[in-house]
A and B are shown apart, each in its own frame.
Chain A
Amino acid sequence: MESIGTNAAAIEVLLVEDSPGDVRLTREAFKDAKVHINLHVAADGAEAMAFLGREGQHVNSPRPDLILLDLNLPKKDGRQVLEEIKESPTLKSIPVVILTTSESEADIVRSYMLHANCYISKPVDLNGFLDVVKSIDNFWLSVVKLPHKTRE
């Protein structure tokens, strides 16, 4: 069980987000990250599954250490993606952080029922958003031990 920093390899983070604005913001926020992060982006649910399954153009993609998942996505919906990830024997161990504008109770409950690791509502203001991303960085990438990369 190696901790993230020791092996100096970058953390692979998959951001599944359809809004380019939000993608850019996230990237900006991670600039101050403590750890070197490779941010991969999938713009919709289908692309996210293709990336995770290493299909098509993603055949050489790495397995992410963390997935940031928006719920409202075109093509395949984020909820569907969550379900599929958590049902897949190879993918279910990857922590999934739901990062979405929805604050609805129903969505929160459903996400946790589908075994999301945590649920974060995107703050409406910039600073709030930046703080959240920093928290994610602090918590999930520093404090928390991520599962050791299994041989694939």
Chain B
Amino acid sequence: MKTKSLINRKVQLAFSSAIFILLFMGAMSYRGFLVSTESDRWVRHTHEVLENLQNLLSEMRSIESSYRGFVITGNEQFLNVYHGSVLHSQEEETIIRGLTVDNPQQNRHLPALESSIAQIIQYGDMVIGVRRAKGFEGGVDAIRGGPGQTIMDEFQEVVHEMQEEERRLLVLRDVDAKRRLGQIRAVLILGIVVGLLIAVAAGWSVQRENSRRATAEEGFRVSEEKLKLLLDGVQDYAIFMLDPQGQVASWNAGAERIKGYRAKEILGQNYSCFFTQEDIERGRPEEILRVTAAIGRHEEQAIRVRKDGSQFLASVTFTALRDMDGNLRGYSEISHDLSESKEAGAKYRGLLEAAPDAIVVVNQGGEIVLLNMQAEKQFGYHRDELVGQKVTNIIPEGFAERLIADDLRSVEEALAQQIGTGIELSGRRKDGSEFPIEIMLSPLKSAEGILVTAAIRDISVRKGAEKHLAQMEGRYRGLLEAAPDAMVVVNQGGGIVLLNVQAEKQFGYRRDELVGQKVTNIIPEGFAERLIADGTRSAAEALAQQIGTGIELSGRRKDGSEFPIEIMLSPLESPEGILVTAAIRDISERKQSEEHLVKTVAELKRSNDELQQFAYVASHDLQEPLRMVASYTQLLAQRYKGRLDSDADEFIAYAVDGSNRMQGLIQDLLAYSRAGTNGKALHKISSENALQEALANLRATMEESSAVVTHDLLPAITMDETQLVQLFQNLVGNAIKYRGAEAPHVHVSAAKNGGSEWIFCVRDNGMGIDPQYFERIFVIFQRLHGREEFKGTGIGLAICKKIIERVGGRIWVESQLEKGSIFSFALPAGDEK
């Protein structure tokens, strides 16, 4: 289409340019014509002027000759001529004047001309007068001596000039005209040439187009003929075209033969008439066209209906036909009656043989029509031993009956019921042995009616596995029943699938009352939700979160009473999905003892706190009155020293002493109670630093007794720093206090015990301790020496013991009298490196 309009446009263009050029050329020609005409006019004009000038000249000559003649002859005749010429010359002059009126050049000559003429005439008159007067001799003299010739010459000169002028003008005009004409001619020639070119081009274009179309049409016609030849030659295949709506647009001999319609009957009809009624109702014809249009082609094997209503199996191929622009122009259908096809049969046979299962094709009479190699193998027969035999030979029961079309149902119906399902039957080999098989049926339409293809699979192995599985299942069931805990198996919907006898007992239900019920009946909350595979996690994941952990929930008995339970979940895969086995334990007792424990602990804690509080407050509040007693007795002693008798002094001394001691005891008690309560959080500290601090606190004592304290490298441990200082201070202080004869030597060391404890040792060279007192010395206020011997209240070691036991360590002593002592304490290593 595009090219056509292009051609049109070209032609239009050509024609309009041609017309334009013609018009132009016409204009040019007209112009030329005008120029020519003008030129002619000028020429005529010039000639006219020249002629008149010539006339004038001849008149003047005539004048001259006439008066000369008169002079010579004296004939009056000459005077007639003379006067006539004079008249004529004046006429001529007037004419010339008129002709040259627009020519300024010529106009210039006119006065000269006029004057010359006048002079000549004057002279002539004169001469004539003279002749008349003087006769011949006078006249001759007059002529001879006169300016007549000169005047004549002048006159002729002017005339010549004017003539020249006129000629020159003519030449100029001529040239000009020629030039203009030349231009016009050039333009005309150009126009002609261009016009010709356009005409030629247009003509040639059109010509080409036409020839092309002619060839195309020719070619088309030829190919159409060929096609027709081809199509009609094919008898075995129906090849025809449908328009985009499915109306039959072409037909061939093969289509006529296969489908039964003649061309003129079918053209224009919708192709759905080839389909079965069911297919038409299902909308199959339209669907096929849609699919073909979308994908480009479609193949199928399906039932088609002939004109006479008979059905046949056809192999049909549809192709969508599109033009160069991609628009759908229609469809082509090629179909083939399969019942005639040997090739289909061969393909089918090939498939059959290659199948991994045994395949047996049975007709409606229950006879074997076809079988494959696998079937031969499975049943142990040779092919020809089975073909034509009843299928009951190899499948004694269950198959043949299923196929029989009886009064109640057609073959199709019978078949339809079987299609796709795997039916378990028993197969019999040639040797008589039977084995379990599974058959899958599918229909096969053939010329002889409907055949049934049975795919037969030997399922002995599977059966064995199934049996094994059933055994396992039985065992599992046994386990379940025997379990000491209640076991409940729940599916993903939260329904109880299985339970054991313990579960019955615990919940007070009978088994059948619970199976199939929701597990929420016995475990109202906390269980079912945990299992649900919801949008956020799959069943497996949900389960994975629960596996292994004991979850405490509440169980509900049949009578409605609730009791605490602990459930442990484990997954169980089954064909129906993932099941959950829940082991349910009644933890009522455990709960009770737990509660009891918690209560007891709380009780203890409370009482402990009270005790601590009491100890602290008591010590604190006891201080005050004690201070009063001590202070005032001392004041008494000081103020009244010497003013009372010695008994009084002694009494006062005892009183003061007593109160001082009391104060000491209370201080120590306070310290002891603080050792238990004031313990701060344990930190990683340097025991070395703690020792140094303790030694700093003991400096005075050390100096007094010249004590030397050494130590090994001491570790970093997790301990309360203040208390560790206290610990070291007490132990080293004791080592110095309970010295022997020599200066005290104390050595502190530490060693790791198997990775779990640090054992510190404070070794001294003091007086040693009698082994029988190894335990007693750690008891509060227990001393081995009197007050007189050694100061102290006996609380130091008790405090040490309390401190150490608070962090889970232990303290003990090794010693020999006179040989020094080693006080050791163990502290848990904690989690330092």
Q: Which A residues are within 8 Å of any B CB, using their own CB?
A: 19, 21-22, 25, 28, 101-102, 122, 124-127, 129
Contact = CB atoms under 8 A, between A and B. Distances in A.
Given A25-B635, A28-B635, A124 B620 contact: no
Contacts of A122: 627
Given A101-B620, A102-B620, A126 B626 contact: no
Contact of B634 (A19, A101, A125): A125
A125 B602 CA distance: 41
B439 interface: no
A126 B623 contact: no
B624 A124 contact: no
Interface string B610-645: 000000000010011011101110110010000000
B667 interface: yes
B229 to A, nearest CB: 119
Contacts of A126: 630-632, 634-635, 638
Given A25-B635, A28-B635, A101-B623, A124 B628 contact: no
Contacts of B667: 124
B664 to A, nearest CB: 9
A129 B624 contact: no
A124 B635 contact: no
Contacts of A21: 627-628, 631-632
A124 B633 CA distance: 13
A124 B638 contact: no
Contacts of B631: 21, 25, 125-126, 129
A19 B628 CA distance: 9
Contact of B626 (A102, A124, A129): A124
Contacts of B620: 101-102
Given A28-B635, A124-B663, A101 B630 contact: no
B317 interface: no
A19 B621 CA distance: 12
Contacts of A28: 635
A124 B634 contact: no
B107 interface: no
Nearest to A102: B620
A19 B660 CA distance: 19
Nearest to A18: B624
A126 B631 CA distance: 4
B681 to A, nearest CB: 15
A102 B617 CA distance: 11
A22 B630 CA distance: 12
Given A101-B620, A102-B620, A127 B627 contact: no
Contacts of A127: 634
A101 B635 contact: no
B624 A125 contact: no
Interface residues of B, number: 15
A125 B635 contact: no
Given A22-B627, A101-B623, A124-B627, 13 more contacts: A19-B628, A21-B627, A21-B632, A25-B631, A101-B627, A124-B623, A124-B630, A124-B663, A125-B630, A125-B660, A125-B663, A126-B631, A129-B631
Report, nearest first, the 7 A-B pairs whose CB atoms are least far apart. Answer: A126-B634, A21-B628, A126-B631, A124-B663, A101-B623, A124-B627, A25-B631
Nearest to A128: B631
B624 A101 contact: yes
Given A124-B667, A125-B660, A126-B635, A19 B624 contact: yes
B491 to A, nearest CB: 63
A102 B631 CA distance: 17
Nearest to A106: B678
A107 to B, nearest CB: 11
A125 B667 CA distance: 13
A150 B635 CA distance: 39
Interface of B is mostly: helix
Contacts of A124: 623, 626-627, 630, 663, 667
A19 B624 CA distance: 9
A100 to B, nearest CB: 10
Contacts of A22: 627-628
A21 B628 CA distance: 6
27 contacts: A19-B624, A21-B628, A21-B631, A22-B628, A25-B631, A25-B632, A25-B635, A28-B635, A101-B623, A101-B627, A102-B620, A122-B627, A124-B623, A124-B626, A124-B627, A124-B630, A124-B663, A124-B667, A125-B630, A125-B660, A125-B663, A126-B632, A126-B634, A126-B635, A126-B638, A127-B634, A129-B627
A122 B628 CA distance: 12
- The interface centre, meaning the residue of A21, A28, A102, A126 with most chain B CB atoms within 10 A of its CB, is A126
Contacts of B626: 124
Nearest to B666: A124
Of listed A21, A25, A124, A125, residue having the most chain B CB within 10 A: A124
Nearest to A124: B663
Contacts of B638: 126
Contacts of A125: 630-631, 634, 660, 663
Contacts of A129: 627, 631
A125 B624 CA distance: 11
A127 B638 CA distance: 10
A129 to B, nearest CB: 6
A109 B631 CA distance: 28
A93 B635 CA distance: 35
Nearest to B678: A105
Contacts of B628: 19, 21-22
A101 B666 CA distance: 13
Nearest to A127: B634
Contacts of B634: 125-127
A102 B667 CA distance: 11
Nearest to A101: B623
Contacts of B663: 124-125
A127 B620 CA distance: 21
Contacts of B632: 21, 25, 126
B348 to A, nearest CB: 102
A22 B663 CA distance: 16
Nearest to A24: B632
A125 B656 CA distance: 10
Nearest to B628: A21
A21 B623 CA distance: 13
B725 to A, nearest CB: 14
B678 to A, nearest CB: 8
A124 B638 CA distance: 16
A101 B638 CA distance: 23
Contacts of A19: 624, 628
Contacts of B624: 19, 101
Nearest to B663: A124
Interface string B475-493: 0000000000000000000
Interface in B693-743: none
A89 B667 CA distance: 39
Contacts of A25: 631-632, 635
Contacts of A101: 620, 623-624, 627
Nearest to B616: A104
A19 B627 CA distance: 11
A122 B635 CA distance: 16
A122 B660 CA distance: 15
Nearest to B626: A124
Contacts of B660: 125
B469 to A, nearest CB: 74
Interface string B645-669: 0000000000000001001000100
Nearest to B722: A105
B613 to A, nearest CB: 13
A40 B634 CA distance: 25
Contacts of B627: 21-22, 101, 122, 124, 129
A122 B626 CA distance: 13
